[in-house]
Chains A and B, each alone.
Chain A
């Protein structure tokens, strides 16, 4: 075995999920609709952009939940909603059981302290005119009442934790490489000792050999601090590596959600199957039968009725798919899918029973 192979075999990946761990974040029917300009002189129907249309997600301490989907599926908007950067038009967000929308201002500040973000672009996410020390200290200055000395100590602490040297904190962002800048972003997010970190495609903008460094750093930090992560990614292999739970989104709704392993080894939803079949292989001998979906992802402005995927679905059943959106059913343990091919929805359809007009989403 080579040195490299040894290192890989002996290393530790993500620790298994503790299902009894405390639920840090939970959403129920979370939705964000944007009203666009339209109509005539302010009258008439305005088109609605349904970016997020009713999603239920649960993130526990020490768990990484991956949100996967293509452009327009609503994953970035979901992240913004969870960070408090957008106000939901419907649904609720619970932080450790408390409803965010009903929180007092003080409680909301507390929430924001505990839900921090690492952004995709390590160049635009750091203010080029601030020294790194100031960048990492900023959240501490805004939210806490720590003294200058205490802040500096904390900054040093967190900079070392991400693998940089405290003396580098006096430099400006442009003096660092992309991977180092992303570490600075992680340090800034870690400074407030949050319970949850929202990772918005944290490694897409980085070179391939640096990605592993950052991903491993995130895994190690999770172990150390029992952090919960909500990770947005479009690279399925990264999601399989990092995430305990995966949610597949399409046009604002979750089509499939559950433990990552069953989702990747036994994808149930036709969209998930198509996505995985289209992913790049990790070895030239691997040949995947690619499921080619007709058309392109429609615009989230006035999405299709019923199941949002129905116009492109290769195994569409019939009218039922166009009429109402299927509820999430638990098809196997910790593996939910929203599709008329499965579970209660199928039985109801086959037995000719009338189906519910308003789908009630089950919780994850």
Chain B
């Protein structure tokens, strides 16, 4: 794909087969079921003047090799904090990972020492940050920035380092990589900068990539090119991608499976087609109905009343109840348990259980109630401090 005039026209020789290159990456995973990353009941709480904010409260999802998981939710749903928790980038204070496990390629990342975590952060698990325009340091050239992770994680220098940098740039289809890498970010167009950020994130051949809304506010055609690029990289390297977004269009185009989050919890997970065709949770259904469609004339958009609740002051019961079209009394009394609807399709909603609390397993029901914050609870429980932060 040609991005700029004559001097940057790519040649066939520019594209190196990734198999030829020994990037000291982490190759195919050896874990069974190809599950390279699994979150189990992750909890990240923040201590604030208003009380304990349960930003992530019992989140479980998994990503397989070569698959893209979409994590959908609005501001305050906890989707970004979950990603930062995986990377252990939560500032402490005020945030603490108080429970759960993050199993990356077979080992629990939360148990690692700071030093060991630093070794895999940016290398085994990569992250593409929001707003590629400002994610690059304006005073260092591209070579320096793409090389930074490689230099630190793989401890190479000289020509070996340069070769790896060029390889990363070619993987994101930046033409004339050898000369472009001497440029500074301001000399690159928006689309190119975006690709450089992508290059940085895959420079050490991670097994899982976290993309946190990387295409927000980008032009239509630039966004399309970037998403296509991510798909190509995934096809070449088998990297698993967690795509955090609020845009269902991206989910429709990129994702194999979806997890919908609301108020720090996952309310529904499933195959992308299941979510689009038969959303089981009222929030998923409402979100899908509130988005205008390009392919047909939408008669009227469904508008969800109210706003997402403040996380330090959640009412008892399901946090979506005040805005739910199907709400019943039981919804305001107890948080619903997770129900299995189909193969790999689960959702937490009383509607699925016919609003009948007796249909829920008592143990699961009790465990689910921990989402409720009472105003009196202002301290992080003592046992939480024993878990890695």
Contact = CB atoms under 8 A, between A and B. Distances in A.
A333 interface: no
B191 interface: yes
Interface string B40-82: 0000000000000000000000000000000000110000000
Nearest to B224: A278
13 contacts: A2-B325, A4-B282, A8-B301, A8-B302, A70-B219, A70-B221, A208-B291, A209-B74, A209-B286, A281-B253, A284-B253, A286-B295, A297-B219
A234 interface: yes
Interface stretch (B109-117, B143-151, B244-252, B371-379): B244-252
Interface of B is mostly: loop
A12 B300 contact: yes
Given A208-B247, A234-B219, A274-B221, A296 B189 contact: yes
Contact of B247 (A70, A212, A280, A294): A280
A296 B301 contact: no
Interface string A183-203: 000000000000000000000
B294 A212 contact: no
Interface in A1-19: 2-5, 7-13
A276 B220 CA distance: 9
Contacts, number: 159
Interface string A286-302: 10001011111100000
A263 to B, nearest CB: 12
Contact of B272 (A71, A207, A238, A284): A284
Contacts of B300: 7-8, 10-13, 216
B292 A296 contact: no
Contacts of B3: 295-296
A82 B71 CA distance: 41
Contacts of B285: 2, 4
Q: Could you say which of B75, B224, B252, B286 has the most chain A C-beta atoms within 10 Å of its C-beta? A: B224
Interface of A: 2-5, 7-13, 70-71, 177, 179, 204, 207-213, 215-216, 234-238, 240-242, 261, 264, 274-276, 278-286, 290, 292-297
B90 interface: no
B33 interface: no
Interface in B289-314: 289-295, 297-305, 307-308
A16 to B, nearest CB: 11
Contacts of A238: 292
Given A7-B325, A282-B252, A292 B273 contact: no
A225 to B, nearest CB: 19
A11 B293 contact: no
B91 interface: no
Please list the 3 inter-chain residue pairs (A to B) with the smallest Cβ-Cβ separation, ordered nearest first: A280-B249, A11-B300, A278-B224
Interface of B: 1-5, 74-75, 189-191, 217, 219-225, 228, 246-253, 255, 272-273, 276, 282, 285-287, 289-295, 297-305, 307-308, 325-326
A93 to B, nearest CB: 27
B299 A216 contact: no
A4 B5 CA distance: 50
Contacts of A290: 224, 228
Contact of B307 (A179, A204, A279, A286): A179
A325 B189 CA distance: 27
Given A207-B74, A234-B219, A236-B294, A284 B301 contact: no
B302 A211 contact: no
A213 B304 contact: yes
B303 A213 contact: yes
A284 B221 contact: no
Given A279-B220, A284-B272, A296 B191 contact: yes
A308 to B, nearest CB: 16
A209 B290 contact: yes
Given A7-B325, A212-B301, A275 B220 contact: yes
Given A274-B221, A296-B191, A282 B295 contact: yes
B293 A282 contact: yes
